[in-house]
Chains A and B, each alone.
Chain A
Amino acid sequence: VRREDCCQHLDSRQDLFELTHSAGQSPFGAEFRRFSLERSKPGKFEEFYGLLQHVHKIPNVDVLVGYADIHGDLLPINNDDNYHKAVSTANPLLRIFIQKKEEADYSAFGTDTLIKKKNVLTNVLRPDNHRKKPHIVISLPQDFRPVSSIIDVDILPETHRRVRLYKYGTEKPLGFYIRDGASVRVTPHGLEKVPGIFISRLVPGGLAQSTGLLAVNDEVLEVNGIEVSGKSLDQVTDMMIANSRNLIITVRPANQRNNVVRNSRTSGSSGQSTDTSLPSCAPPPEPSLEPGEDDSDDDEDIVIEDSGEPRQIPRAAPSAESLQSLTQVELSFESGQNGFIPANEVSLPPVASGAGTEFETRAPDQKLLEEDGTVITL
């Protein structure tokens, strides 16, 4: 087993010094640590995170961890996968950047970050520099702007469509009407008419119309995983309104010509018969978001204490909460990476070889850090 030394990269330190001097600003805290890791057995991210906190003697400070990948991009480390990826890219040194979470500058992550090294460091080290140009923040779940989409294509029969209408901040109304109607179904007794709920009208300029995911005469089958069959129009209306912040509707589109034809399922139905649903066709499985679990973040009530400061009501159950947030973090990072890495591979020159592991703790809050005794004033 080869123990690999991670060493501090001298060049970058010099850069750092230069930057500081040229800016001529008041000194701020930055700190460097160097330590070694076993490349073949990197362990878990949580252990690594603990190690970082230990090395920097900041046991209770939440930090964001990033590393410089071979393209020179500053990428986050926040789960086992990207941690392992980061360790595997060490060549042999790995530069790691640490920021306090509450002061973190998320825009530092992503493409073109470490290539323009000065900018990055400026950004990382001097947060006020970039305040003027707000970046679209990526990489953290709360920063994603969910958009309306067709979901669960893989688990639904192809005659059905599950649509998630996401009303995010916009003042656009959801903008559709539903009505009672009759739909024809194939049953063991032949064709039968059963009552159903249909979309009757789209409000021009509304969310439903602008996304193009719903159309007039689509039959509504489910609302947020609950089947509407047997429910009255008013009940379905109330269900939709109660779920309006995160509305997931499963419909059988009136127009079946745009269906995705998948080879695996082509035997099920022709895709052209509009108003039939084969009884053999298994009912659509419960959506991945189980009711009651998906709604943690869309539904937080606001409490105003007597001080007058509004705050979101936190969730009380700590264990469930942390688990949930972890999974969400994971998901979001995956998508973030997927979105960014391939696009940049071509254009970006590889980062200078021999990059070391670098730990930076940005700590404008001196007092706190002085108390911790970890501050080096430069």
Chain B
Amino acid sequence: MQEFPRGWGRRRAFPTDHPAGTGAWRGRYSGPLGQGADPQREKLKQELFAFHKTVEHGFPNQPSALAFDPELRIMAIGTRSGAVKIYGAPGVEFTGLHRDAATVTQMHFLPGQGRVLTLLDDDSLHLWEIVHHDGCAHLEEAIHFQAPSRPGFDGASGLPSLAHITVVLLVAAGDMAALGTEGGSIFFLDVPTLTLLEGQTLGPDEVLRSVPDDYRCGKALGPVESLQGHLRDPTKILIGYSRGLLVIWNQAARCAERIFLGNQQLESVCWERSGHTVVSSHSDGSYAIWAADTGDSPTAQPTVATTPYGPFPCKAINKVLWRSCASGEHFVIFSGGMPRASYGDRHCVSVLQAETLVTLDFTSRVIDFFTVHSTRPEDEFDEPQALAVLLEEELVVLDLQTPGWPAVPAPYLAPLHSSAITCSAHVANVPAKLWARIVSAGEQQSPQPASGASSWPITGGRNLAQEPSQRGLLLTGHEDGTVRFWDASGVALRPLYKLCTAGLFQTDCEHADSLAQAAEDDWPPFRKVGCFDPYSDDPRLGVQKVALCKYTAQMVVAGTAGQVLVLELSDTPAEQTVGVASLDLLQDREGFTWKGHERLSPRLGPLPWPAGFQPRALVQCLPPAAVTAVTLHAEWGLVAFGTSHGFGLFDYLRRSPVLARCTLHPSDSLAMEGPLSRVKSLKKSLRQSFRRIRKSRASGKKRTVAGSKLQEANAQLAEQAGPQDVEVTPVQRRIEPRSADDSLSGVVRCLYFADTFLRDAAHHGPTMWAGTNSGSVFAYALEVPAAVAGGEKRPERAVEAVLGKEVQLMHRAPVVAIAVLDGRGRPLPEPYEASRDLAQAPDMQGGHAVLIASEEQFKVFTLPKVSAKTKFKLTAHEGCRVRKVALATFASVACEDYTETCLACLTNLGDVHVFSVPGLRPQVHYACIRKEDISGIASCVFTRHGQGFYLISPSEFERFSLSARNITEPLCSLDVRWPRGATHISHRSRESPKLSQANGTPGIILAPQSCDGSPDPICKEADTPEPPEAMLSPMSIDSATSADTTLDTTGDMTVEDVKDFLGSSEESEKNLRNLSEEEARACAILIK
């Protein structure tokens, strides 16, 4: 299992605070290598390269708080690392990060204002606002408030401490906040300024005065557990104390209107919309309903008190919601309350309407939940549409209006890690046909709800980003043997299709068991919801490598137990037998015994396969070590795969092995130990340290004792003479050249197919290249029989492979990538790309060259006579080692047609370097990932157009772009209304426009000036003859071909231009008119 350390720090850096990379690092290579001097080249580099971290895909790691704004229909999620993420409609995303990495415990939207108040576990309050500049909305922290730690805010009054805020309630449309504390006091805060309103504080003593003596009996009320406001009367607050006391407090009159004398420890309170009913939930798993409009005050007994999962002891009901419906059958939704003994470990939310009870059974902890319902005061009923439950590992939304309450598939926030990600791959420019087929296969897998196809309830904001010009597919391989297909074209990472390979194998744990188990209990009425399932049936199923041919819809999936599966997309379900072949990579090498796991035993006989990718052939490597490299050439019908023992070539059209080659070094015994599990690696390190000890002993025998003593004494003396603050046990590093007998030298690191000149300069033909961990490169000339006319028929003759060249890199560093460059120095296109006119045909006239990237150096060799042409020794110069490389095409911002192919490289320090090809000249250099973040560096994958992804947590991909042109980032706006008199309080330094200035194609957005006298500075700059509400600003768009709307912000701009851009002048006029109306009424920020 891939281990992810717990408590991942946030590695996010925002475009606003990140651009340090660009300027500071650029040109570091200038000087000795003579690149920096040319100003023209520097300008071109600026047009080609720019570094941005653009968006985070996936599910926030360790969420801790949830909030929903029913007016704007946006949702906020806070995390334990202090991140604030706001989501609306797909593509509408905002991210913010608190300065201190403290847990966000509560979040509250100021309804309709695009502002959110967050409470951290260090008792600080932060006000965030969504502000628009450059026409796009951004989330920024405006002000914050730190509760004074001294008891007694004004000293003299002796008031209780404001420390330990337990609950926050926004009252009076968000102008004021009530803060409940652990001490039982309630403080009031002016929200726009975040200052305490002194003299309004409500202490527990004041409340106790209204409580009968027999209830008081000398006990404290305990912490404030809940504060609820009234929808229609903002002066009333429902206060729930931990001890059980509920008070409806009139803040205007400063008196208790009603008192409910609960005696059970309180967990949460819900005030029904009309105000007639109060529901309280308790720590014993019960909830009680109190009548608020009838009866005496104080009320001693609730009208109803039930323990839904009794009679045996139950766990606490942490939160309860009461939602009324026009039908009269109200909803009661609560979390927890499960019978302690039998189901105490379940994570459940129960939904009860009349006689219908469903116990939603989740696989991870429930953080919080809310319903989407009407909040207009004039409506009589809540009429909940949807229930959204935030869990530790995913977000689940149920449609409450459709009978059966089906789950609504989320268009974003997909739990990438539903099973741990073991590998990932990106496919760019997916043909529309294949895209449609994958989408339809995915729809057949999980049928969309018929009625509520568009029922995703969180729809706030507008996505301003243009339709992506090309479709990108992100494939993630998982520990449970699945491969998931994600739509990575835009900001929202959308699940498309899931391929499951486990069905092909017999695994220890059969799925039938769990089904039977579920059937035997019908109380509580559990319903499995969500897809997070971290448990793998068999670690051998784990997917190690994936390759997809986007033209033939064939793919290869290779796994931990040496299984290599060739699959093909089929639109119809089929039942078929999969041909199984095994290939011995040891080639009768003696003296090696495999000590690792067994190979998987495939199911024999015809198996039913649903529509989607269906297996065509299975090859099992022997010994069954994890596959370390795989490549597919659909045109030739060949798949090549490598393990730590060697590599093989398989003709999947004829289902026959072509080649097997052992790469083991005779001294390489560790390769036989099996997969590198934690235990094994400990074993390995122990073994190595023993070996080291033995070595040093062996060398120690030679020296004389006297000599060593003298030397040690000298060393000690020298140590004493040295600086005093040297650590007692400093970290040491041994300096030794790499030797040939390093362990695991035989691991095949990369495989590559190319049509090039290997044997002589006159004839080119199919070749296969393999690179190993010890710096060896094997090149084979392949004899591929021409495809028989008629296509499907298998070729008559077998494929032959002849070893053509064997290159041993002198520095012996692992070979991470191989690519052949054509006569013009461009990488060869993918199979079928040229023959289908999707890429320029390679130049077969000029001499080809092969680029071999090792962990330390890049080298270009001529072909067919292998001689070194250019090289760059990265490690010798920079001291960093190569982790990932990819050839990427960079398009210029200035000129659409100008592109350069460059080598993008991620180092072990987390830096990204870009080199020219084939000159191998360093171009730019950015700090991208923290060097301590090993999982992040290991998970990085580059796209072909200069973007990349890496995991910032087990569940989140950070997307970054190196290209100045090809950027995918959230561009969205939100119609926010601020109450009259509200002012921008943001102290932001105007650093963020950098984001949009540097990149992308400008677009135009009209935005009104808010009438509160805080004009956006950009408005002043924009040189428009119109009133300042017409503003235009650059807008970045993820596309390489969207330059048709290019407008320069700095140039002269007229309203006509703006209208042209908007398409219809009426619309723009209407917009402008709306603006002025808005302006008169209240402040508006943005209309489009």
Contact across chains for B735 and A237 when beta carbons are under 8 A apart: yes
Q: Which residue on chain A has the smallest CB distance to residue B737? A: A244
Q: How near does chain B come to A20, taking the closest CB pair, in angstroms?
A: 43
Contact across chains for A179 and B730 when beta carbons are under 8 A apart: yes
Q: Which of A181, A239, A275, A317 has the most CB of B within 10 A?
A: A239
State whether A238 and B875 are in contact (beta carbons under 8 Å apart), knowing that A216-B715, A302-B807 are contacts in the complex: yes
B437 within 8 A of A: no
Docked complex Cα distance between A182 and B726 (Å): 7
Q: Which residue on chain A has the smallest CB distance to residue B813? A: A242
Contact across chains for A235 and B805 when beta carbons are under 8 A apart: no
Q: Which of A193, A275, A304 has the most CB of B within 10 A?
A: A304
Contact across chains for B735 and A200 when beta carbons are under 8 A apart: no
A107 within 8 A of B: no
Q: Which residue on chain B has the smallest CB distance to residue A176? A: B735
State whether A167 and B737 are in contact (beta carbons under 8 Å apart), knowing that A181-B723, A299-B811, A316-B862 are contacts in the complex: yes
Residues 847-878 of B, flagged 1 when their CB comes within 8 A of A and 0 if not, give: 00000000011010110001111000101111
Residues 945-985 of B, flagged 1 when their CB comes within 8 A of A and 0 if not, give: 00000000000000000000000000000000000000000
Contacts of A183 in B (CB 8 A): 723
A38 within 8 A of B: no
CB contacts under 8 Å to B, within A246-295, are: 254-255, 274-275, 286, 290-292, 295
Docked complex Cα distance between A217 and B724 (Å): 12
B719 within 8 A of A: yes
Residues 687-725 of B, flagged 1 when their CB comes within 8 A of A and 0 if not, give: 000000000100110110001100100110011011101
Contact across chains for B723 and A224 when beta carbons are under 8 A apart: no
Contact across chains for A304 and B805 when beta carbons are under 8 A apart: yes
Contacts of B696 in A (CB 8 A): 203
B810 within 8 A of A: yes
CB contacts under 8 Å to A, within B330-388, are: none
State whether A316 and B873 are in contact (beta carbons under 8 Å apart), knowing that A174-B736, A290-B32 are contacts in the complex: no
A340 within 8 A of B: no
Contact across chains for B733 and A178 when beta carbons are under 8 A apart: yes
Q: How near does chain B come to A256, taking the closest CB pair, in angstroms?
A: 11
Q: CB within 8 A of B723: which of A182, A240, A242?
A: A182
Docked complex Cα distance between A173 and B813 (Å): 18
- Chain A interface category by residue count: 35 or more
Contacts of B727 in A (CB 8 A): 180
Q: Which residue on chain B has the smallest CB distance to residue A302? A: B808
Q: Which residue on chain A has the smallest CB distance to residue B724? A: A182
Q: How near does chain A come to B806, taking the closest CB pair, in angstroms?
A: 4
A59 within 8 A of B: no
Contacts of A231 in B (CB 8 A): 879
A27 within 8 A of B: no
Docked complex Cα distance between A226 and B877 (Å): 7
Q: How near does chain A come to B430, taking the closest CB pair, in angstroms?
A: 38
Q: How near does chain A come to B731, taking the closest CB pair, in angstroms?
A: 6
State whether A237 and B711 are in contact (beta carbons under 8 Å apart), knowing that A204-B700, A205-B703, A254-B718 are contacts in the complex: no
Q: CB within 8 A of B804: which of A181, A224, A299, A306?
A: A306
Contact across chains for B805 and A306 when beta carbons are under 8 A apart: yes
Contact across chains for A181 and B862 when beta carbons are under 8 A apart: no
Contacts of B869 in A (CB 8 A): 316-317
Q: Which of B725, B811, B813 has the most CB of A within 10 A?
A: B811
Q: How near does chain B come to A203, taking the closest CB pair, in angstroms?
A: 7
Docked complex Cα distance between A22 and B340 (Å): 113
Contacts of A234 in B (CB 8 A): 733, 879
Q: Which residue on chain A has the smallest CB distance to residue B780? A: A306
Q: Which of B696, B725, B804, B875 has the most CB of A within 10 A?
A: B875
Q: CB within 8 A of B876: which of A176, A291, A305?
A: A291
B763 within 8 A of A: no
B300 within 8 A of A: no
Q: Which residue on chain A has the smallest CB distance to residue B874? A: A242
Contact across chains for B732 and A200 when beta carbons are under 8 A apart: yes
A37 within 8 A of B: no
Contacts of A224 in B (CB 8 A): 876
Q: CB within 8 A of A238: which of B708, B802, B810, B880?
A: B880
Q: How near does chain A come to B24, taking the closest CB pair, in angstroms?
A: 13
Docked complex Cα distance between A233 and B735 (Å): 11
Docked complex Cα distance between A236 and B862 (Å): 32
Q: How near does chain B come to A219, taking the closest CB pair, in angstroms?
A: 10
Docked complex Cα distance between A193 and B813 (Å): 36
CB contacts under 8 Å to B, within A293-324, are: 295, 298-306, 313-317
Q: CB within 8 A of B732: which of A179, A274, A275, A301?
A: A179
CB contacts under 8 Å to B, within A158-214, are: 167, 173-184, 193, 198, 200-205
Contact across chains for B879 and A235 when beta carbons are under 8 A apart: yes
B809 within 8 A of A: yes
Docked complex Cα distance between A239 and B876 (Å): 5
Q: Which residue on chain A has the smallest CB distance to residue B733? A: A237
Q: Which residue on chain B has the smallest CB distance to residue A247? A: B735
A241 within 8 A of B: yes
Contact across chains for B807 and A241 when beta carbons are under 8 A apart: no
Q: CB within 8 A of A301: which of B700, B734, B808, B879?
A: B808
B44 within 8 A of A: no
Contact across chains for A233 and B733 when beta carbons are under 8 A apart: yes
Contact across chains for A179 and B731 when beta carbons are under 8 A apart: yes
B20 within 8 A of A: no
State whether A306 and B803 are in contact (beta carbons under 8 Å apart), knowing that A216-B719, A235-B879 are contacts in the complex: yes
State whether A240 and B735 are in contact (beta carbons under 8 Å apart), knowing that A216-B719, A304-B806 are contacts in the complex: yes
B751 within 8 A of A: no
Docked complex Cα distance between A374 and B718 (Å): 70
State whether A233 and B723 are in contact (beta carbons under 8 Å apart), knowing that A204-B700, A245-B737 are contacts in the complex: no
Contacts of B802 in A (CB 8 A): 306
Q: How near does chain B come to A92, taking the closest CB pair, in angstroms?
A: 47
Contact across chains for A286 and B32 when beta carbons are under 8 A apart: yes
Docked complex Cα distance between A254 and B33 (Å): 33
Contact across chains for A242 and B873 when beta carbons are under 8 A apart: yes
B550 within 8 A of A: no
Docked complex Cα distance between A302 and B32 (Å): 29
Residues 731-746 of B, flagged 1 when their CB comes within 8 A of A and 0 if not, give: 1111111100000000
State whether A275 and B723 are in contact (beta carbons under 8 Å apart), knowing that A179-B731, A301-B809, A315-B868 are contacts in the complex: yes
A243 within 8 A of B: yes
Docked complex Cα distance between A62 and B699 (Å): 47
Contact across chains for A299 and B810 when beta carbons are under 8 A apart: yes
B881 within 8 A of A: yes
CB contacts under 8 Å to A, within B779-823, are: 802-811, 813
Contacts of A198 in B (CB 8 A): 722
Residues 136-167 of A, flagged 1 when their CB comes within 8 A of B and 0 if not, give: 00000000000000000000000000000001
Contact across chains for B711 and A204 when beta carbons are under 8 A apart: yes
Q: Which of A300, A306, A314, A317 has the most CB of B within 10 A?
A: A306
Contact across chains for A313 and B867 when beta carbons are under 8 A apart: yes
Docked complex Cα distance between A205 and B808 (Å): 29
B909 within 8 A of A: yes
Contact across chains for A241 and B873 when beta carbons are under 8 A apart: no
Contact across chains for B32 and A291 when beta carbons are under 8 A apart: yes
Docked complex Cα distance between A370 and B868 (Å): 37
Docked complex Cα distance between A231 and B866 (Å): 35
Contact across chains for B909 and A235 when beta carbons are under 8 A apart: yes
State whether A217 and B725 are in contact (beta carbons under 8 Å apart), knowing that A203-B699, A241-B736, A244-B737 are contacts in the complex: no
Contact across chains for B879 and A238 when beta carbons are under 8 A apart: yes
Contacts of B731 in A (CB 8 A): 179-180, 233
Contact across chains for A179 and B733 when beta carbons are under 8 A apart: yes
- Enumerate 25 A-B pairs (CB-CB under 8 Å) in ascending A order: A178-B732, A178-B733, A179-B731, A182-B726, A183-B723, A205-B699, A215-B718, A235-B909, A236-B879, A237-B733, A237-B735, A238-B856, A238-B875, A241-B736, A245-B811, A255-B718, A295-B876, A299-B810, A301-B808, A302-B808, A303-B806, A306-B759, A306-B802, A306-B803, A315-B867
Q: Which residues of A contact B (CB under 8 A)?
A: 167, 173-184, 193, 198, 200-205, 215-217, 223-224, 226, 231-245, 254-255, 274-275, 286, 290-292, 295, 298-306, 313-317
7 residue pairs, one from A and one from B, having the closest CB atoms: A235-B879, A244-B737, A242-B875, A304-B806, A179-B730, A239-B879, A237-B733
